[in-house]
């Protein structure tokens, strides 16, 4: 139930965020009703400068309601323009990144709340005498000042996030945070010896969608009395049709469950894996890596032709993968007790390297600068990564070098690539500070 509530909030978080800020007007209307109508005697405890006449308040609220409506329309137009810019210049999947930034949809909610407050406050004022001093106009003044501050913060956010470098840095920072967490979890994870397993049970998905979340607490509760290891082979963010194999339950003892008990156990395990119609960017580092890849591909397209931006993205990808490969493990121990372990198996080094660079190689291998950047980045990954990953990284370097060398026709360009390969083969740069390279900036 809790996971369903969280999932509902995630899918509707933009609408909820607007509504939550709009509800501020309800609170202010309650304060107005309390002071101006229900308990007018409370106004004697307020300073005189906080009270305005009914005529002044009516005039101010009338003008302010029109201003709120105009600025709300302008803000919506600006947001839609920025989203269109993000979609055409970067990637459609990065649109959500701008929407989720502070001071974006919050401003929209503040302005909508301001419009409702001013209109409803005007409705209340029509029943009061002209010589009555009220607080509704004063509250509107403070609300207008707050709205202007929110608008300034919104403009600052737009001017900052419209730059290429800032957009790439924002995505990189989110991916870096997730990858550092992932690497630390990998380092401290341990599995059972595979030779101890007596039997196994395959688990198949009961839903269709992207693997959004693994409820490891529910899984551990389900498996608490069974000596076993549950290995989840599908990845967070991977699209999985119903009925596809998603996990293996390895028993440390001989499986003594009946067929009906196996079906019930498999169903409980499958239900603990939450599926959604969209990916979970708050947990899936691969989602952020994909965003950087797509920005690089957009920059390499003939219509944009901006190889320098692609090179920046390639360098960022190298830092991320190097930190990810800083552990010899490619799995995470999500939860464990005296009997059971819940293990999440992530991408191997070979899979990660291929998924990251295959499209960039396809579109950028014939550009000399991009080809050099790809090889230098793979060399950087090799330097940062753990020794257990270096063999696969070296293999992919040789693969990338062959593709790039074949795509370049100039002897000078080929010679520049050969120099990078010579450096890689001789490992001349063997004095790098791996700890500094792996840490957050």
Q: How wide is the angle at C-alpha 24 spanned by C-alphas 22 and 26, nearest 5°?
A: 95
Q: Please answer whether residues 351 and 201 qualify as being in contact, where contact means their C-beta atoms are separated by less than 8 angstroms.
A: no
Work out the number of other CB atoms within 10 angstroms of the CB of residue 331.
18
d(Cα 360, Cα 404) in Å, to the nearest integer? 11
pLDDT of 371 reads 94
Instruction: Give the predicted TM-score (pTM) of the model.
Output: 0.83
**CA 36/CA 24 separation, integer angstroms:** 18
The confidence score (pLDDT) of residue 3 equals 67
53: helix, coil or strand?
strand
Distances (CA, A) of 213 to 65, 232, 234, 280, 359: 44, 12, 11, 8, 28
Strand order in the sheet with 273-276: 239-240, 209-214, 273-276
pLDDT of residue 258: 82
Task: Check residue 305 and give left, alpha or beta (phi > 0: left; psi -120 to 50: alpha).
Answer: left
Q: What is the pLDDT at residue 380? A: 92
- 156-205 pLDDT tens trace: 888 888 888 888 898 899 999 999 988 888 888 887 777 678 888 899 98
Q: Output DSSP code: residue 93.
A: G
Which residues lie below 8 Å from residue 20, measured CB to CB, with a gap of 6+?
109
Can you tell me the distance from the alpha carbon of 281 to that of 211, in angstroms, rounded to the nearest whole number?
11
All structural domains of the chain with their residue ranges: 2-162, 172-185+285-326+348-438, 186-276
Over the chain (441 residues), what is each successive 10-residue block's mean pLDDT? 70 81 85 78 72 81 88 87 81 78 84 88 76 82 90 88 85 91 86 77 89 88 87 90 90 82 88 86 87 91 86 94 87 86 90 93 92 94 89 93 90 90 74 60 59
The pLDDT of residue 441 is 59
Q: What is the pLDDT of residue 433?
A: 59
User: Would residue 164 be called left, alpha or beta, if left means φ above 0 and alpha means ψ between -120 and 50 degrees?
Assistant: alpha
Q: In the CATH hierarchy, which fold is given to the domain comprising 186-276?
A: Aldehyde Oxidoreductase; domain 3 (3.90.1170)
β-strands 340-345, 228-232: how paired? parallel
What is the model's pLDDT at position 1? 60
């Amino acid at each position: 139930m809790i996971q369903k509530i969280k999932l509902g909030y995630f899918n509707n978080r933009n609408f909820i965020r607007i509504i939550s800020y709009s509800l501020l007007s309800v609170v202010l209307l309650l304060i107005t009703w309390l002071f101006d109508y229900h308990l007018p005697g409370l106004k004697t405890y307020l300073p005189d400068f906080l009270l305005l006449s009914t005529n002044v308040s009516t005039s101010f609220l009338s003008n302010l309601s029109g201003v709120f409506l105009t600025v709300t329309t302008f803000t919506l137009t600006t947001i839609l323009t920025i989203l269109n810019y993000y979609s055409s210049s970067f990637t459609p999947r990065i649109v959500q990144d701008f929407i989720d930034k502070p001071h974006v949809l919050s401003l929209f909610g503040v302005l909508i709340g301001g419009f409702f407050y001013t209109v409803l406050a005007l409705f209340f004022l029509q029943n009061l005498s002209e010589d009555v001093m009220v607080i509704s106009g004063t509250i509107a003044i403070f609300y207008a000042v707050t709205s202007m501050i929110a608008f300034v913060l919104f403009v600052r956010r737009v001017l900052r996030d419209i730059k290429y470098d800032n957009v790439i840095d924002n995505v990189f920072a989110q991916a870096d945070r997730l990858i550092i967490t992932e690497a630390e979890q990998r380092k401290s994870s341990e599995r059972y010896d595979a030779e101890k397993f007596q039997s196994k049970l395959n688990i198949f998905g009961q839903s269709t969608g992207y693997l959004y979340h693994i409820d490891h607490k529910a899984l551990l509760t389900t498996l608490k009395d069974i000596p076993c290891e549950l290995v989840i082979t599908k990845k967070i963010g991977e699209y999985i049709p119903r009925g596809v194999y998603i996990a293996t339950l390895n028993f440390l003892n001989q499986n003594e469950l009946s067929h009906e008990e196996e079906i019930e156990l498999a169903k409980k395990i499958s239900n603990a894996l939450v599926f959604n119609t969209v990916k979970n960017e708050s947990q899936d580092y691969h989602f952020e890596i994909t965003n950087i890849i797509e920005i690089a591909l957009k920059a390499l397209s003939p219509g944009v032709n901006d190889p320098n931006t692609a090179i920046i993205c390639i360098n960022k990808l190298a830092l991320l993968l190097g930190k990810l490969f800083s552990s010899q493990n490619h799995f995470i121990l999500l939860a464990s007790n005296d009997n059971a372990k819940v293990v999440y198996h992530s991408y191997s080094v070979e899979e990660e390297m291929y998924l990251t660079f295959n499209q960039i190689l396809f579109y950028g291998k014939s550009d000399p600068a991009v080809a050099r950047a790809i090889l230098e980045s793979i060399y950087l990954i090799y330097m940062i990564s753990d020794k257990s990953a270096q063999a696969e990284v070296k293999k992919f370097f040789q693969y990338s070098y062959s593709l790039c060398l074949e795509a370049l026709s100039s002897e000078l360009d080929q010679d520049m690539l050969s120099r990078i390969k010579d450096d890689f083969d001789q490992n001349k740069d063997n004095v790098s500070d791996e700890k500094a390279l792996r840490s957050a900036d």
